Amino acid sequence: MTLKEYCASCKNEGSHKCHSCMGKYYDGVLQGAPTKYIKKPQANADRIRAMSDEELAEDYCKTLLKVMQYFGIKNTGTLEDAVRARLEWLKQPAEE
């Protein structure tokens, strides 16, 4: 699967013509346009799959702390300890 690119000026995906790109699209990619290309933003799942173990552990722990705060659950540890424990868990063999 490839990410589509689109005109930086009009965000056109081939549905209309703008002065910059004139709608010259082929297979989702603007052809021969004088504009810079920008990639569409990643989906959340793509962003998560691209995370390192460290980023995933930290994001998970920060989210968990927010949920705990929302429900009034007291936090007795530090974020660093939680991230370290989650990172250790992420590196363990998967259970089926």
Residue 95 lies in a domain: no
- The set of long-range contacts for 2-5, using a CB threshold of 8 Å and a minimum separation of 24, is 2/28, 3/39, 3/40, 3/42, 4/28, 4/29, 4/40, 5/29, 5/30, 5/37, 5/38, 5/39, 5/40
Q: Are residues 36 and 60 in the same domain?
A: no
Q: Are residues 36 and 49 in the same domain?
A: no
Q: Are residues 35 and 51 in the same domain?
A: no
pTM of the full structure: 0.54
User: What would the two tokens of residue 89 be?
Assistant: 């868990």
Q: Are residues 50 and 86 in the same domain?
A: yes
Q: Which residues pair with 25 in a beta bridge?
A: 30
pLDDT tens string for the chain (96 positions)?
A: 344 455 555 555 545 555 555 555 444 454 554 445 555 677 889 889 899 999 999 999 999 999 999 999 998 899 999 999 999 999 999 988
Domain membership of residue 83 as a residue range: 45-90
Q: Are residues 50 and 34 in the same domain?
A: no
CB neighbours (10 Å) of residue 21?
22
Q: Are residues 24 and 50 in the same domain?
A: no
